[in-house]
Chains A and B, each alone.
Chain A
Amino acid sequence: MNIDIKIWNDFKKGENCVLSHIYCQHVQLLFRYGKKFSKNNEIIKDTIQDLFFDLIRTRENLGKTDNIRFYLITSFKRKLVKNLRKQILFVDGGMGKNIEAEIVYSVEHDLICKEELTHREKIVQKALRELSPKQREILFYRFTCDFEYEQICQIMSLKYDSARKLVFRALKSLKKCLVSSDIFLLFFGFFPKNFSSQKK
């Protein structure tokens, strides 16, 4: 039995502590996800709070889910986009750009901070730069959120085939740039010891 179904049912029945369990389990991920769309921490926090208020209000009428994370991320995105639109309209004076996730990779972040890049580092940077926002978003759902393609398509309103194609292309270009030049040596620190010792 899927544990999420049980937790969700307990929550709908109004059992104590379930809500705070769900909150504690997901608040960091929601914040991390929210930051991809906006730099404004207050809006993100307000939206998270709002999301949970709504859960409480509609508790008895909530639909079923066997994946709480997916349920929360989807409703959170919907709410956040709505709130950001409002802000763009009233604060930033209409004419806003499209709201889309902006995902920066740790490696990119580190490289930006560096003054001078080695040849290998430049190749990595270039390869990553070629990834489009959409590709990054799908990979985020895959890796960080552990979602299925069907779920990703639902969040991003994509067709299954196009989502697969986007990932396939991303991986292909990464493989080409990175594998050829033994660039991976760069990121030694990430790997467990047995791997590096097997090198030589």
Chain B
Amino acid sequence: MKEKYKKYSFEELIEDKHFIAWVLRGSNKNEWKKFIVDNPVIKEKVKKARRTILLLRDNYEVLDEESILKMGHNIYRFEQQHKKKVRTIKRRRGLSWAASVLLIFSAGTIGYFYLNEKDTDYQFVSSENVTQGNEARLVLSDGEEIQLNSDNSTISLNNENELKINNDSIIDLSKKENELDNVVQMNEVIIPYGKKSELLLADGTIVWLNAGSRLAFPSKFTKKTREVYLEGEACFKVVSDENQPFIVKAGQLEIKVLGTLFDISAYSSDENIETILINGSVAVSKPNSLGLGRSEIILKPYQRASFQKQKNDVIVSEEPNAELYIAWTEGWLQFSHESLQSVFAKLERYYNVEIRTSQNFLSSELITGKLDLKESLQDVMITLSDVTNIEYRINGNKIYIDKKLNELHMR
């Protein structure tokens, strides 16, 4: 404790910030107590000053928890919307820059993988599992592979046939010109676990491609419909064009769009293909059981269609928290009453790790909240173990999960 206080007057004490902090907020409590014991002369003055400050405490009301949450929510929403707006402006700027570079990106020579006007099913080039290989890559229609070096790559195409990667590398594809115009060439983006990518297609449609996914798309949409092929999860923001519907083919399922924002999760390892619609309208169609024709279901915003691959059945349900499903496009992983198992499955994909639970691990806990995927896996696991009853151990790219030991004895 500073010596100067020994000589302080009543007024000086009241004017002193440290003194006020002690009286009102209990800062350095022990030091002050000791100081008073050591300097009994000051005791009387301290007492008076202290009481005066306490006498001048204002009468106030506390804002209720509900209002705090509501306002906080409004502010958060406003921030998100604002960020989106800013990002769109930036993206437009990027595009006009790309246009001035004038690169030709057109159909390549006939590869062993192409799609013709007949609706034959597209086969992904890389027949092996997406999870293999550690680098995100772009496979062009002539078979050339380009590594996407960033964890969050961006690829943009526009209707002038220009292609740009990560806003810096540019590939000269003019030599790969092809004379056979009636054949639509497909390019493929392959994103392994632990990465993601954002694509701007030739028509202006934006696709966020999640970890462990691949998307096949033409460099130009010349057919009657705009068709892309998906395996894994992607969020689509489709530019509306009634004359040329946008169709996503995911396994046996087809999702036809007229301009909308929606998310499809079609991992080959999952039992269901999930389509979640945020706004606009989409038609989900599955093959009829006899293989003759297709049956179509129209989704409304905030609805989810679960296609059960085994039963060849589509179940539609309301999904009031539809936004949760696209939070990953912003680098968040959001959960609403989800089981730990399902959270683990998602983390495995994002961080490209294997999560192993101990043999008798059973948890009925449901998790609501969000995780920042820009944080390290370690940080995310700390957050998760703070809110749940789990303990974890990271070993290389395996994570072992167990119940907290002392959990049974608590409460």
| Residues of chain A whose beta carbon lies under 8 Å from any beta carbon of chain B | 14, 16-17, 19-20, 23-24, 27-28, 31-32, 35-36, 41, 45, 48-49, 52-53, 56-57, 103-109, 124, 128, 139-140, 142-144, 146, 167-168, 171-172, 174-175, 178-179, 184, 187, 190-191, 194-195, 198
Contact = CB atoms under 8 A, between A and B. Distances in A.
Interface string B67-99: 110011011101100110000000000000000
Interface in B42-62: 43, 47-48, 50-62
Contacts of B48: 175, 178-179, 184
13 contacts: A19-B79, A24-B72, A32-B62, A48-B71, A56-B75, A106-B57, A171-B10, A171-B52, A174-B55, A175-B11, A175-B52, A190-B51, A190-B54
Contacts of A20: 72, 75-76
A66 to B, nearest CB: 16
Name which of A49, A109, A143 has the most chain B CB atoms within 10 A of its CB.
A143
B20 A143 contact: yes
Interface string B28-53: 00000100000000010001101111
A105 B55 contact: yes
A56 B55 contact: no
A178 B71 contact: no
Contacts of A187: 51, 54-55
B233 to A, nearest CB: 22
A48 B83 CA distance: 20
A146 B79 CA distance: 30
Interface string B1-36: 000000000110011010011001000000001000
A48 B53 CA distance: 28
Given A56-B82, A143-B56, A191-B51, A27 B15 contact: no
A53 B76 CA distance: 9
B11 A171 contact: yes
Contacts of B331: 16
Contacts of A194: 33
Given A49-B71, A167-B15, A171-B14, 7 more contacts: A20-B72, A27-B71, A56-B79, A56-B82, A103-B58, A146-B21, A178-B51
Contacts of A35: 60-61
B391 interface: no
Contacts of A41: 67
Contacts of B58: 32, 36, 103-106, 140, 144
Contact of B53 (A27, A28, A143, A168): A143
A53 B47 CA distance: 45
A76 to B, nearest CB: 13
B59 A106 contact: yes
Contacts of B83: 14
A196 B51 CA distance: 12
A54 to B, nearest CB: 10
A52 B75 contact: yes
A178 B52 contact: yes
Contacts of A191: 50-51, 54
Nearest to B62: A28
B24 to A, nearest CB: 6
B372 interface: yes
B36 to A, nearest CB: 9
Interface in B254-268: none
Nearest to B74: A49
A198 B46 CA distance: 13
Contact of A184 (B47, B57, B61): B47
A99 to B, nearest CB: 18
